[in-house]
Amino acid sequence: MAVYLPNDGEIDPSLLIEQARKMGKTCYLPVLQPLVVNRLWFVRYDHKTPMTHNRFGIPEPRIKRFADNARNRSKASDLDLVLLPLVAFDEQGGRMGMGGGFYDRTFAFTRHKCSAKPALIGLAHECQKVAELPIASWDIPLAGVVTDKALYLTP
């Protein structure tokens, strides 16, 4: 399961992370990939993971030694569930992020894949819901969104 650490008013998934750990699940955090521009690595995360802040000020596992070790990483295609932050969403699975396209590029492979894995679920405040977002050809839709008020599953 991939999660994120909150930044700039995003929904805080800390309780979900703790519950996942209690259930014996491994959690991964996104890291700005140093070798391929604008893509994400997913690095194992627990209370002992050495952390730093990336160029956007977002906390992520430190690259040196820890994230560079392949056994601490997961391929995006091997994840079962990915919880994503967002700026806005609609009920059709549209997601507006911060504009970098990191998640869209990282999960572009899902466009051509028959499997529902990984399930991409947005975490949001209800007030972030809009009637309809403009969708570009590169946008990857969400399977659903969980807010503080409701669960929206993509039709």
pLDDT per residue, tens digit, the chain (155 aa), is 999 999 989 999 999 999 999 999 999 999 987 666 678 989 999 988 989 998 888 999 987 765 567 778 899 999 999 999 999 999 999 999 988 899 999 999 998 767 678 999 999 999 999 999 999 999 999 999 999 999 999 97
Q: CATH code at 21?
A: 3.40.50.10420
Phi, psi of 133 (to 5 degrees): -100, 145
List C-alpha distances in Å: 131 to 42, 57, 71.
31, 30, 42
pLDDT of amino acid 28: 97
- Structural domain of 40: 1-155
Alpha carbon of 61 to those of 33, 46, 64, 81, 83: distances in Å? 11, 10, 9, 19, 17
Q: What is the pTM of this model?
A: 0.91
**How distant, in Å, are the alpha carbons of 60, 121, 122 from that of 25?**
19, 17, 19
The secondary element (H helix, E strand) that includes residue 3 is none
The per-residue pLDDT for 55 is 85
pLDDT of 65 reads 62
Query: How many structural domains comprise the chain?
Result: 1
pLDDT value for 98: 87
DSSP secondary structure letter of residue 2:
B
